[in-house]
Structure 1
Amino acid sequence: MRIIFTIAHFFKPSGEGRHASQRKDPQPRLQALTTSLTTLHQLFGKSQSIINIAQRLALPANQPQSHEIDIVICTTKDNHLLNQLALPSHLYRHHSSNAEPMLLAFECQAVLQSCLGQYDYYCFLEDDLIIHDPWFFIKLDWFTQQTGDLNLLQPNRYEVSSHALVHKAYVDGDLALRVTAPFQNVQQQQELNGAIMNARITFRRALNPHAGCYFLNANQMAQWASQAYFLDRDVSFVGPLESAATLGIMKTFQIYKTSPEQASFLEIQHFGTGFLGLIGGQVGLVER
């Protein structure tokens, strides 16, 4: 299988520093991007081996689940940290642009569109997202085989900490119905149910479809790219950042996420503790 990942990467220190990409210290952003890149290659690339001790040989491992992957990092102007990445340059390609920073995800969409017909999966991630599940694409493929290409499964985004009130928190919980009502009707096929490894699993229409990423198979990418609104740069969902990442797929597909009871079925880590740290302060904690 061939997979293309596009990553929107931006860093420019600002006195305001509302987003992690605007803070003074570049190290957290460098660490996040480095981990994201290396993990994609380690989980999904073909360079995986098992050491046969008796033969003193490193033999291929996980080959049926490994893929040919390309990673394209989309930046704007000189506002990036690629020249500080301590990684071999062949692990990614650099796509430079003059896009507005909050609209870089649209630049990623243009890159994906230019590659139509060349890949089996077309993916977008913000530069602080990290996948840890080697069965990630197996799960996505299983879901679409069961439910059809017009249904899109989004991962649950989470943060972790050993020092906060909660060790792990999923950060994209439900929005008020009115926020996404102009773009989706969650009353249609509200819930899908399946079974995997003898465990029942529930998928629900997402009141918050945002995850800072998406993973589309070839049919889904072609379907989206054929829509009149593709690349229209509509920013009417929450804000420019959220719209660029999520509005187009919300208009095109019925988006599902697994229920809170099974949130970890498909998940992706958001680097840092910006949301998790709100628990106990701006966000109340309900005890078990």
Structure 2
Amino acid sequence: MRILFTIAHFFNPSGGGRHASLAKDPRPRLLAFSGCMVALHQLYGRSQGLIDIGLRLAVPANQSQSHDIDIIVCTTQNYHLLDQLALPSHLYTHHRTTVEPMLLGFECQAVLRDNLGRYDYFCFLEDDLILHDPWFFVKLGWFSKQVGNLNLLQPNRYEVSPVGVMNKVYVDGDLLPRVTERFHNVQDQPQLMGKVMDMPVVFRRALNPHSGCYFLNAEQMQYWVDQPYFLDRDTSFIGPLESAATLGVMRTFRIYKPAPEQASFLEIQHFGTAFLGLLGGVVSLSPDVVVQKQKS
């Protein structure tokens, strides 16, 4: 299988620090960005092996789940960290643009469209998202086979920390229905159920379809490109960043996420603790939450 990943990457240390991409210190962003790309190669690339100790020989491993992958990094106006990245340049292709930074996700859409017919999966990620699941595309393929290509399974984003009130939190919980109701109807097939290794798994229409990423098979990508609104650069869902990542697929597919009871069935890490840091302050804790006890 051939997989194309596009990554919207931006960093401006003079931007005022409101987002991680605008911080003065580039090191956290470098960790996130390099982690994003390295994980894609390590999890889904073909260069995977096993050491046969007796023969002192490295032999192939995971070849049934490894693929030919390409990564295209979309940047704008020289606001990027590619020159500071401690990774071989052959691991990715640099696609330069001059668009407004918040619109980089639309440039990724154009790159995906221009590569139709060459890949089996077409993917977009923001540059601070890290995959850890080698079975990720197996799960996506299973889901599409079960329920059809007009239903899109999105991963749950999460953050982790060894300290704080919780060790792991999923960050894209429900929005108020009015935020997305003009773009999709969550009452249309609101829930799907499946069984994986004898474990029931529930998938629900997402009141918050945003994940900062999407992963479309070739048929889904073609179907989206064929819609009259494809690449219209509509920014009416929350803001330009969220619209570029989510609005197009929300208008095109019924978006599902694994229910909270099995949130980890399909997930992706959001680097850092920006959301975790809200717990106990802006975000209150329900009585049912298990709080990490701190040792003095």
Work out whether the TM-score is over 0.5.
Answer: yes
2:292 corresponds to which residue? Answer: none
Q: Where do 1:14-93 residues align within 5 Å?
A: 14=14, 16-93=16-93
1:141 corresponds to which residue? Answer: 141
Q: CA deviation at 1:286?
A: 1.6
SS at 1:75 equivalent: strand
Aligned pair 1:238/2:238, yes or no?
Answer: yes
1:105 corresponds to which residue? Answer: 105
1:192 corresponds to which residue? Answer: 192
SS at 1:214 equivalent: strand
SS at 1:139 equivalent: helix
Cα distance change of structure 1 residues 15 and 40 upon mapping to structure 2, 3 Å threshold: closer
1:183 corresponds to which residue? Answer: 183
- Once the two structures are aligned, what percentage of the paired residues are identical? 68
User: What root-mean-square deviation, in Å, do the aligned CA atoms of Structure 1 and Structure 2 show?
Assistant: 0.6
Moved over 6 A (4+): none
Q: CA deviation at 1:142?
A: 0.2
Structure 1 segments unaligned to the other structure (5+ residues): none
Q: CA deviation at 1:131?
A: 0.2
Q: Where do 1:148-187 residues align within 5 Å?
A: 148-187=148-187
Counterpart-to-counterpart distance in 2, 1:242 and 1:107: 14
Q: CA deviation at 1:138?
A: 0.1
Q: CA deviation at 1:16?
A: 2.7
Aligned pair 1:228/2:228, yes or no?
Answer: yes
Q: CA deviation at 1:99?
A: 1.1
Give per-residue Cα distances to partners, 1:26-81, cap 9 Å, x unaligned.
00000001111111000000000000000000000000100000000000011000
- Normalised by the size of structure 1, how large is the TM-score? 0.99
- Normalised by the size of structure 2, how large is the TM-score? 0.97
2:132 corresponds to which residue? Answer: 132
Counterpart-to-counterpart distance in 2, 1:200 and 1:30: 39
Q: CA deviation at 1:246?
A: 0.3
Instruction: Give the letter for the 1:242 counterpart.
Output: E
Give per-residue Cα distances to partners, 1:150-198, cap 9 Å, x unaligned.
0000000000001110100000000000000010000000000010100
SS at 1:125 equivalent: strand
Instruction: Give the letter for the 2:244 counterpart.
Output: A
Instruction: Give the letter for the 2:13 counterpart.
Output: P
Q: CA deviation at 1:88?
A: 0.4
Counterpart-to-counterpart distance in 1, 2:285 and 2:160: 16
2:274 corresponds to which residue? Answer: 274
SS at 1:283 equivalent: coil
Counterpart-to-counterpart distance in 2, 1:54 and 1:111: 47
2:3 corresponds to which residue? Answer: 3
